[in-house]
Amino acid sequence: MHLLVTGAAGMIGRKLLDRVAESGLPGGVPVTAMTLADVIEPDVAVGFGGSRTCVTADLSQPGTAERLIAERPDVIVHLAAVVSGEAEADLEKGYRVNLDGTRALFDAIRLAEDYMPRVVFASSLAVFGAPFPERIADDFHLTPLTSYGAQKAMGELLLDDYSRRGMLDGVGLRFPTICIRPGKPNKAASSFFSGILREPLNGQDAVLPVGDDVRHWFASPRAAVDFILHAAVMDTSVLGQRRSLTMPGLSATVADQIEALREVAGEDAIARIRREPDPDVARIVAGWPRDFDTARAREAGFRAETSFRQIIDVYLEDEMGGREPGAPAA
């Protein structure tokens, strides 16, 4: 099995590669070759014994997509993207990377003869726009209220159409906000959801730009990797013509996050959260959905956490290296 991952240098890409290097794909499917692509040099998965090709390139540039699929990878995981806040601030870059890059990849596959790989496309909850019902079902209409959401919605439609035509075998994953993200904050408008937990758990101060009553949809990085791996091998006949699914997750408020942090790390950690309202972030977040009925995804075998304590525990297990919550990193 040959696996191609675009956006391989990102957090989810790196965790995916480490998991594949350790155990292959679900069901004992071995991965014998990896092609890793990103605009910065991707990390090579530690412990992977197969062949590895690292490509530093921009997928939206002419010829890049054709180069990436030249060896005809069996499974393509398309994670490369400009995140929400940056896509809103830089319209041209967002459309170039999120739409043009996606179409370039899909068209390179389309134009290759006798080739129909499994394509796992990273979509987003941002494809949905207010006004929302109390819980959003999979058949709710796509009316994004951000450029990022529009770009991801277009990617979903391309995935449906190219799958319908038998040009690729697509699965679109509408990821929850991934929390707790390790490392430093990124330019996503949702970055603070991780920051208000990650920084206090590491003995650092954090900024909260929205109110405690803000509700959102979450899953851990570990769950995100599980989603991708399941999508890589699942029976896509259950999807019919609607190839994109909203992934399972946890609907929780900022107050719920803070309470789970208090349970794990105590009042000293809570005291490190500094409230600094940011109207721009609040405006973007206000247009996002808050709760979902993900029966379709669950019936297809996707799973995620059911409490914020579980999400924090995943971070403690995967990122803290045995340190006590609230203790600074060495």
Please, are residues 221 and 12 in contact by the beta-carbon 8 Å criterion? yes
Residue 229 lies in a domain: yes
- Looking at residue 184, its pLDDT comes to 81
Distances in whole angstroms, Cα of residue 52 to Cα of each of 14, 72, 116, 183, 292: 14, 14, 22, 25, 38
Nearest to 309 by CA among 268, 252, 260, 248: 260
Q: For residues 183 and 45, which has the higher predicted lDDT (pLDDT)?
A: 183
The predicted-structure confidence for 219-274, as pLDDT tens digits, reads as follows: 999 999 999 999 999 999 999 999 999 999 999 999 999 999 999 999 999 999 99
Distances in whole angstroms, Cα of residue 119 to Cα of each of 5, 149, 156: 10, 20, 12
280: confidence class by pLDDT, cuts 50, 70, 90: confident
Token pair for residue 156?
């979903």
Per residue, the 3-state secondary structure of 307-320, as one string, reads CHHHHHHHHHHHHC
CA angle 108, 15, 71 (to 5 degrees): 25
Token pair for residue 23?
């155990």
The predicted-structure confidence for 70-120, as pLDDT tens digits, reads as follows: 999 999 999 999 988 889 899 999 999 999 999 999 999 999 999 999 999
Checking if the pLDDT of 9 tops 80, the result is: yes
Checking if the pLDDT of 322 tops 80, the result is: no
Residue 296 lies in a domain: no
Catalytic entry in 95, 148, 162, 315: 148
Within 10 A of 70 (CB to CB), how many other CB atoms are there? 12
Residue whose token pair is 């530093």: 56
Q: For residues 196 and 186, which has the higher predicted lDDT (pLDDT)?
A: 196
d(CA 131, CA 148): 18
Nearest to 76 by CA among 104, 113, 48: 104
Residue 186 lies in a domain: no
330: confidence class by pLDDT, cuts 50, 70, 90: low
Checking if the pLDDT of 204 tops 70, the result is: yes
Average pLDDT over all residues of the chain: 93
d(CA 323, CA 302): 31
- Looking at residue 76, its pLDDT comes to 98
User: Is 95 among the residues known to form the active site?
Assistant: no
- Looking at residue 327, its pLDDT comes to 67
Please, are residues 164 and 288 in contact by the beta-carbon 8 Å criterion? no
The predicted-structure confidence for 106-152, as pLDDT tens digits, reads as follows: 999 999 999 999 999 999 998 998 888 889 998 899 999 889 999 99
Tally of helices (H runs) and strands (E runs) in the chain: 13, 12
- Looking at residue 218, its pLDDT comes to 97
In DSSP notation, 32-53 reads -EEEEEESSPPPPPTT--SEEE
Residue 120 lies in a domain: yes
Nearest to 6 by CA among 119, 87, 96: 119
The span from the first CA to the last CA of the chain, in angstroms, equals 39
Residue 253 lies in a domain: no
Range of the domain at 75: 2-175+221-246
Q: Under DSSP, is residue 223 helix (H, G, I), strand (E, B) or coil? A: helix
Residue whose token pair is 């109110």: 211
Checking if the pLDDT of 187 tops 90, the result is: no
Checking if the pLDDT of 188 tops 80, the result is: no
- Looking at residue 44, its pLDDT comes to 67
In DSSP notation, 174-193 reads EEPEE-SPPSS--S-TTHHH
Residue 76 lies in a domain: yes
45: confidence class by pLDDT, cuts 50, 70, 90: low
Nearest to 56 by CA among 37, 79, 75, 34: 37
288: confidence class by pLDDT, cuts 50, 70, 90: confident
- Looking at residue 325, its pLDDT comes to 83
Please, are residues 17 and 5 in contact by the beta-carbon 8 Å criterion? yes
Distances in whole angstroms, Cα of residue 245 to Cα of each of 140, 227, 299: 11, 11, 11
d(CA 259, CA 17): 33
Residue 187 lies in a domain: no
Q: Tell me the CATH number at 64.
A: 3.40.50.720
d(CA 251, CA 322): 28
Checking if the pLDDT of 285 tops 90, the result is: no
Q: What is the CA radius of gyration of the chain?
A: 19
Residue 132 lies in a domain: yes
Residue 299 identity (one-letter amino acid): E
- Looking at residue 329, its pLDDT comes to 67
Q: In total, how many domains does the chain have?
A: 1
